Structure 1
Amino acid sequence: MSFVEQQPIQKAADPSGGANQVRVRAYNERLVLSLVRRHGSLPKSEIAKRSGLTPQTVSVIMRSLEKDGLLLKGTPQKGKVGQPSVPMSLKPDGAYSVGLKIGRRSADLVLVDFLGRELGKLTSTYQYPLPQDILKFADAGIKQLCQHFSSKQRSRISGIGVSMPFELWNWAEKINAPQNEMDAWRNFDFKVELSSLFSYPIFIQNDATAACGAELVFGHGLELSDFVYFFIGTFVGGGIVLNHSVYSGRTGNAGVFGPMPAIDENGKITTLIDHASIFTLEKKLQSEGIDRSPLWHSAKAWDGLGIFLDDWIENTARHLARAIVASCAVIDFEAAIIDGAFPSQIRHRIVEAIKIELESLDTRGLNSPNVLEGIVGHNARVIGGACQPLLSKFLLNQNVLFKEMT
C-alpha cells in the first residue's frame, strides 16, 4: 500500500472515556520524565508546581522511577528556608535505543543512551538503496554496536527506530537508480523483515519527520513550543511541531514540504524538491564533470565547490524563504528551523541568505518567524530514529499540554 494513499477515517476515541489507575500512573510517570528531560534536572517541588500533581504523588512517582533506574538523584541544594531540595535528572544508562536512517545515498546506525548521547555509529554508502542490502547492514551493524553490552544493558534497549523516505521507488529517476531494482521496495515490508531479526519493538517514521523529532527533543524544542522545520537532504523534507509535539498528520506526511509547489526562474510551476535539495547541486556538479561523491559520502567534504555551491545556496534560500512564508500563512509559527546533511558553515550561509530573501517578500499580515539554524545537525535523521522508541516508551505525548509555570 502506498504511504500517501488515502486511509479510511478512523473514529476518534471518546474524549469522555475515563482512565483506570494503571493508565493514570503511566501518564503521570511519563509526565514527570518528560518534565525532567526538558529542563535537565528538577527537584520534587518544581515538578509538583509544573505538573499540577500533589507533592505526595510526585514523591511516590520519583521513588518508583529511581528504583527502576530511570532517575538519578543529584546533590542536595540548600535554599533560604526549609529542607534542601534534591534535583533529579534522567539516568543516562536507564534506557538505550537504536536508530537506523535509510537514505538515498547512505545508511546510518546509531546507539544512544537515555540522554540521546551517541555511544556508537556506523555508516554504509551506496549508489542507491536496496532493501536486502540495508537489512544485512542493520543486522550486522546492530549486533556490532551492542556486542559489549551486558545482559542487563540489552534488557534496557527500548527498541529500534527507523527513519526512511516513504515510497523510495518513486525517486529512482532523480537519483539515477534503475527503476526495476528500486521497485523491490514496493512490496518489501521492512518492519516485518527487521522484526524477524530482533525481538526489540520496531518503529518506522518518515526520515525528515524523524529529524524534526530530534530537533524537538535535543535541539530548539527545549525552548520553542512550535516551529516549522526544514531538513535538506538528497531531497528536502521537514516537519511541524505544535504544543511541544511533532504533528505528523493523518497519514504521517504532515510537513513533508518536498511536493510544495514552487515557481522557477521561467515562471514554470515545479516543486520545492527541484530547488532546495542536494540532488540539484549533485546534478550540476555531474554536468560540469566534477566529483560529486563528497556530497553524500561525507558531510564535511564540501570545500572547493566554488560558484556552483554559491549558486545552489542562493537558489535554495530563495525557495525556502517562500516556503516559510507559505507555511506561516497557515500556522503562526514561532520559528523556522533549517538543518541538513551538510557542514555547519553551509547551514549558516543558507540561514543568513534566507533572512535576506524574507526581507524582499511581501509578508504583510504575517508575523515573520525567527529563522534559526538546527542544533542537531546532519545526524538529525538517525538521531530522530533513535528518539522514537524512547518517546514511545517513556515520554509524554506533549499534545497534552504541560501545566507550565510562566
Structure 2
Amino acid sequence: MMGDSRRVESPIPNAMQINHRVRRAAQRSPKHSSLAGTNLERAADYNQRVTLQAIRVNGEITRQDLARITGLTPPSIANITNRLLQEDLIVELGRLRGKRGQPAKRLAINPDGAFSIGLNIDRDHVTAVALDVTGNVRARITDEIDFALPNAVVSFARTAMEEMLRTRQFAKSKIIGTGVALPDDLGQIDLPHRPSSYGVWNTVDVNKMLANVLPEPILVENDAAAAAIGELQFGHGLRSPTFFYLLISASLGGGLVIDGSYFRGADGRSGEIGFLPLRSRRTKAHSLQAAVSLSALYELLAEKNRAVSRPEDLLSLDAKGKEVVADWIADSADFLTDPLLAVSCLVNPKAVFIGGRLPSGLVDELAERLNQRLRSRAGDVPKIAPVMRAAMATDAPAVGAAILPFQERLLPSRSALMKVSAD
C-alpha cells in the first residue's frame, strides 16, 4: 500500500508494528494471531476490545495468559478485566489449579452480557435473528416471501422483534444495536419474476425505514460483506484471516477479507463476482449470477415441472429433480473455476468459503466439484485456495448483520484502531 514516506511517531502501533506482533503471536499459537494491544492510556478502548477478543477466542483463560497473548502489562490487564466484569461482559470462574503458586482465577465471556439483532432482506426471503456475544443464535424468525416491498419488511421486522422477545431467550435491555444486510442494487438487478414495483428499493433509506422499529443504532451492510465479516469473527476466519467468501442466494455475491480486515475497494464494491460476464453454450445467462444462484436453479427446475419455493425443497425432489440439481452443480463448478483461479492469483487467500441459502449437503457437493476442477489446473498457477463450506453458512447474512453492532462496540477491528489513532 502506497503512503506518505515521512516517518511519524504514532501514539499507537502502526500497521507494520501490529503485523510484527501478529507474526510473533502466530508462532506461539494460531489462536492468538490477531491479538495485539498497546499499553498507552489513550488506547484504552482498543485494548479493551483486544482483551475481550482474546477471552472470546480462547475460552476460559487467566489474566496471566491474557497479558502474554496481548502484550499488555499485568496492571493493564487487571484494569481492563475489572471494567469488563463491571460491564457484565465477562465472568469469573473457579481458580486454575495444578500449577505452582497461588491458583489463578479463570475468566470467560458472559453469553448473556450483550445481544444484537440481525436482519437480512433479500429477494426471496426476510430473516431476523437475535445473537449473543458468543455468536449463538438465541431466536430466529423468517418469512419466505418473494420480492418483499419496504412496507412488508417493516411489518415483518416489527412482528419478528415482538416474537423473538416473547421467547425470553435474551434481555431487551442488553441489546446494543441492529445490523441489516441486503444486496447492493436490490431494486435494480433483473431476476426472474421481479415485479416492476420492486424498483422502489432504489429510493429507500433503510435506516429511516427501520428507525423506531428495531433497536438502534442501525448499521447497514451489503449481504455478502456481512456474511464475510461474520465468518471472520465467529467462523473459519479466526484461523484463516485472509479468505474469499462466496454467497449463494437469490443472486451471487462475494466478500474479500485480507489479514483480518474486510476489503471494500475504492468504491465499496469489491467482491462483486456475480457480475462477471459469462459466455457458455450450456446457458443463456450473460452473467455469473444469472447461472450460479438459487433463482437460476429454481428456473431450471421449473422448466422440468419441478417447482420449488424454498431451499429446503431441494432436499425432497424426485429423481428427475435431483438430476437437474446435479447438472446445475456440475455447471456451476465449471463456471466458477476460472473466476476462483483469478481470485487465487490476485489475492492468494487461505481459502474460499461458500455460504448462503443452498443446503449444506449441496454446498459440500459444489465445493468438492470445484476442488476437483481447481486441482486439475494446479500446474497453471502458483497457488490455489481450497474451497469449503463456511462455518457460518446457514443464515450467514442475517448472523453477519447481527455481528456488526458487536464489531462496532466491542470487538477489535482496523476501524476501531483508526478511531483511536485519530483521537
TM-score (norm: length of structure 1):
0.87
1:74 and 2:93 correspond: yes
1:284 and 2:303 correspond: no
Amino acid in structure 2 at the alignment position of 1:133: A
Bigger shift: residues 60-69 or 120-129: 120-129
1:57 and 2:57 correspond: no
**For residues 105 and 226 of structure 2, what CA distance do their matches in structure 1 show?**
34
**For residues 364 and 392 of structure 1, what CA distance do their matches in structure 2 show?**
42
Equivalent position of 1:134 in the other structure: 153
Equivalent position of 2:203 in the other structure: 187
Q: 2:333 aligns with which of 289, 309, 317?
A: 317
Amino acid in structure 2 at the alignment position of 1:307: E
1:174 and 2:157 correspond: no
Q: 1:400 to 1:131 in 2, by over 3 A?
A: closer
Equivalent position of 2:420 in the other structure: none
**For residues 100 and 375 of structure 2, what CA distance do their matches in structure 1 show?**
52
Map Cα deviations across residues 158-214 of structure 1 (whole Å, 9 max, x no partner): 11110101111112x3131222x0121121111112124345200101111111122
Q: 1:280 to 1:136 in 2, by over 3 A?
A: same
* 1:58 shift after superposition: 0.5
1:351/1:371 contact within 8 Å kept: yes
**For residues 372 and 135 of structure 2, what CA distance do their matches in structure 1 show?**
34
1:104/1:175 contact within 8 Å kept: no
* 1:271 shift after superposition: 2.5
**For residues 299 and 22 of structure 1, what CA distance do their matches in structure 2 show?**
56
Q: 1:124 aligns with which of 143, 156, 161?
A: 143
* 1:17 shift after superposition: 6.3
Structure 1 unmatched ranges of 5 or more: 1-13, 402-406
1:384 and 2:403 correspond: no
Q: 1:191 to 1:83 in 2, by over 3 A?
A: same
1:79/1:85 contact within 8 Å kept: no
**For residues 266 and 15 of structure 1, what CA distance do their matches in structure 2 show?**
57
Q: Write the mapping of 1:178-257 to structure 2, written as runs, cut at 5 A.
A: 178-179=195-196, 181-198=197-214, 200-257=216-273
Q: 1:30 aligns with which of 45, 49, 57?
A: 49
**For residues 193 and 80 of structure 2, what CA distance do their matches in structure 1 show?**
54
Equivalent position of 2:310 in the other structure: 294
Q: What secondary structure, in the 3-state scheme, does the structure 2 residue paired with 1:87 have?
A: strand
* 1:250 shift after superposition: 3.8
* 1:217 shift after superposition: 1.8
TM-score (norm: length of structure 2):
0.84
**For residues 267 and 233 of structure 2, what CA distance do their matches in structure 1 show?**
22
Map Cα deviations across residues 378-397 of structure 1 (whole Å, 9 max, x no partner): 21111111111111110010
Q: What secondary structure, in the 3-state scheme, does the structure 2 residue paired with 1:238 have?
A: strand
Equivalent position of 1:162 in the other structure: 180
1:164/1:205 contact within 8 Å kept: yes
1:339 and 2:355 correspond: yes
% identity of equivalent residues: 27
Equivalent position of 2:123 in the other structure: 104
Map Cα deviations across residues 211-261 of structure 1 (whole Å, 9 max, x no partner): 112211221012112111111111111211112232233443222311123
* 1:75 shift after superposition: 2.5
**For residues 375 and 78 of structure 2, what CA distance do their matches in structure 1 show?**
52
Equivalent position of 2:165 in the other structure: 146
Equivalent position of 2:19 in the other structure: none
Structure 2 unmatched ranges of 5 or more: 1-6, 13-38, 418-423
Number of positions where the alignment pairs a residue of Structure 1 with one of Structure 2: 384
1:349 and 2:365 correspond: yes
2:11/2:40 contact within 8 Å kept: no
**For residues 354 and 299 of structure 1, what CA distance do their matches in structure 2 show?**
24
* 1:153 shift after superposition: 2.8
Amino acid in structure 1 at the alignment position of 2:130: L
* 1:80 shift after superposition: 3.2
Q: 1:286 to 1:303 in 2, by over 3 A?
A: closer
1:230/1:237 contact within 8 Å kept: yes
Q: 1:265 aligns with which of 278, 281, 284?
A: 281
Name which structure has the greater RCO, CA cutoff 8 Å, separation 6+.
1
**For residues 264 and 379 of structure 2, what CA distance do their matches in structure 1 show?**
27
* 1:16 shift after superposition: 5.9
The answer to which structure has the higher helix fraction is 2
Amino acid in structure 1 at the alignment position of 2:352: A
1:361 and 2:380 correspond: no
Q: What secondary structure, in the 3-state scheme, does the structure 1 residue paired with 2:337 have?
A: helix
2:46/2:416 contact within 8 Å kept: no
Q: 1:302 to 1:324 in 2, by over 3 A?
A: farther
